[in-house]
Structure 1
Amino acid sequence: MLDFTVAIPTYNGAERLPQVLEKVRSQIQTESLKWEVIVIDNNSSDNTEEVVKNYQETWPRSIPLKYILESEQGAAFARLRAVKEAKGEYIAFLDDDNWPEPNWLISAYSFCKEHPQAGAIGGQIHANYEIPPPENFKPIEPFLAIREHGSQPFRFDAANLRLPPAASLIVRKQAWQESVPPRPSLTGKLPGLLIQGDDYEPLLYLHKHGWEIWYNPEMHTYHQIPKWRLEKDYLLKLAQGCGLATCKLLMINAKPWQKPWIILRTIVGNGKRLVLHFLKYKGKLKNNLTATFQINFYLQCSLSPIELLRKR
Structure 2
Amino acid sequence: MPNPRLTVVVPAHNPHPGRLHRTLTGLRAQSLAASEWECLLVDNASSPAVAAEALVETAPAGLRILREPVAGLTHARVRGFTEARGDFAVLVDDDNVLAPDYLAQVVALFSEHPRVGVLGGKSQPEFESPPADWTAEFHGLLALRDLGDQPLISSGLRPAGASHHAYPGFAPIGAGMAIRRAAWEAWLKSPTRHQLSDRRGTELTSGGDNDIVLCAMKAGWEAGYFPTLRLTHLIPPGRTTPDYLARLNRAIQQSWMRVLSLHGANPFAPLSPMDASLRKLKAWFSHRAWSRNAPYIRWQGACGHFDGRVKSPAVSS
In the alignment, the residues of structure 2 paired with residue 54 and residue 79 of structure 1 have an alpha-carbon distance, to the nearest angstrom, of 23
Distance 1:308 1:123, change over 3 A: farther
Aligned-residue CA RMSD in angstroms?
A: 3.2
- 1:290: Cα distance to partner? 2.7
Partner of 1:166: 174
Query: Counterpart amino acid of 1:25?
Result: R
CA contact (8 A) 1:5 1:88 kept: yes
Query: Given the alignment of the two structures, is residue 75 of structure 1 paired with residue 73 of structure 2, yes or no?
Result: yes
In the alignment, the residues of structure 2 paired with residue 134 and residue 67 of structure 1 have an alpha-carbon distance, to the nearest angstrom, of 37
CA contact (8 A) 1:248 1:308 kept: no
Partner of 1:232: 242
Query: Counterpart amino acid of 1:154?
Result: L
- 1:108: Cα distance to partner? 1.4
In the alignment, the residues of structure 2 paired with residue 310 and residue 38 of structure 1 have an alpha-carbon distance, to the nearest angstrom, of 31
Report the secondary structure of 1:106's partner residue. Answer: helix
Partner of 1:35: 37
Question: Quick check: 179-188 or 205-214, which moved more?
Answer: 179-188
CA contact (8 A) 2:42 2:66 kept: yes
Query: Given the alignment of the two structures, is residue 282 of structure 1 paired with residue 280 of structure 2, yes or no?
Result: no
Q: Which residue among 303, 306, 309 is the counterpart of 1:305?
A: 309
Report the secondary structure of 1:300's partner residue. Answer: helix
Stretches of 4+ aligned residues off by more than 4 angstroms: 191-194, 258-261, 271-278, 309-312
In the alignment, the residues of structure 2 paired with residue 246 and residue 124 of structure 1 have an alpha-carbon distance, to the nearest angstrom, of 21
Distance 1:204 1:43, change over 3 A: same
How many residues align? The count is 300
For residues 208-246 of structure 1, what are the alpha-carbon distances to aligned partners after superposition, in whole Å with 9 as ceiling and x for unaligned?
222111101001101011000111221111112112213
Residues 35-74 of structure 1 aligned to structure 2 (within 5 Å): 35-51=37-53, 54-55=56-57, 63-74=61-72
Q: Which residue among 247, 254, 257 is the counterpart of 1:244?
A: 254
- 1:202: Cα distance to partner? 1.5
Distance 1:259 1:43, change over 3 A: closer
Report the secondary structure of 2:172's partner residue. Answer: coil
For residues 154-208 of structure 1, what are the alpha-carbon distances to aligned partners after superposition, in whole Å with 9 as ceiling and x for unaligned?
0259623623221111011121113443653224233585532122111111122
Partner of 1:119: 117
TM-score (norm 2): 0.83
Query: Counterpart amino acid of 1:84?
Result: T
CA contact (8 A) 1:104 1:220 kept: yes
- 1:46: Cα distance to partner? 2.7
CA contact (8 A) 1:204 1:253 kept: yes
Query: Counterpart amino acid of 2:298?
Result: Q
Report the secondary structure of 2:69's partner residue. Answer: coil
In the alignment, the residues of structure 1 paired with residue 54 and residue 223 of structure 2 have an alpha-carbon distance, to the nearest angstrom, of 32
In the alignment, the residues of structure 1 paired with residue 304 and residue 182 of structure 2 have an alpha-carbon distance, to the nearest angstrom, of 35
Partner of 1:94: 92
Query: Given the alignment of the two structures, is residue 207 of structure 1 paired with residue 217 of structure 2, yes or no?
Result: yes
In the alignment, the residues of structure 1 paired with residue 202 and residue 236 of structure 2 have an alpha-carbon distance, to the nearest angstrom, of 22
CA contact (8 A) 2:25 2:59 kept: no
Partner of 1:184: 194
In the alignment, the residues of structure 2 paired with residue 216 and residue 273 of structure 1 have an alpha-carbon distance, to the nearest angstrom, of 38
CA contact (8 A) 1:4 1:88 kept: yes
CA contact (8 A) 2:121 2:227 kept: yes
CA contact (8 A) 1:127 1:146 kept: yes
Query: Counterpart amino acid of 1:244?
Result: Q
Q: Which residue among 138, 141, 144 is the counterpart of 1:140?
A: 138
Partner of 2:298: 294
More helix by share: 1
In the alignment, the residues of structure 1 paired with residue 112 and residue 285 of structure 2 have an alpha-carbon distance, to the nearest angstrom, of 46
In the alignment, the residues of structure 2 paired with residue 6 and residue 192 of structure 1 have an alpha-carbon distance, to the nearest angstrom, of 24
- Percent identical pairs in the alignment equals 26
TM-score (norm 1): 0.84
**Any gaps of 5 or more consecutive residues in structure 1?**
none
Partner of 1:263: 270
- 1:262: Cα distance to partner? 3.6
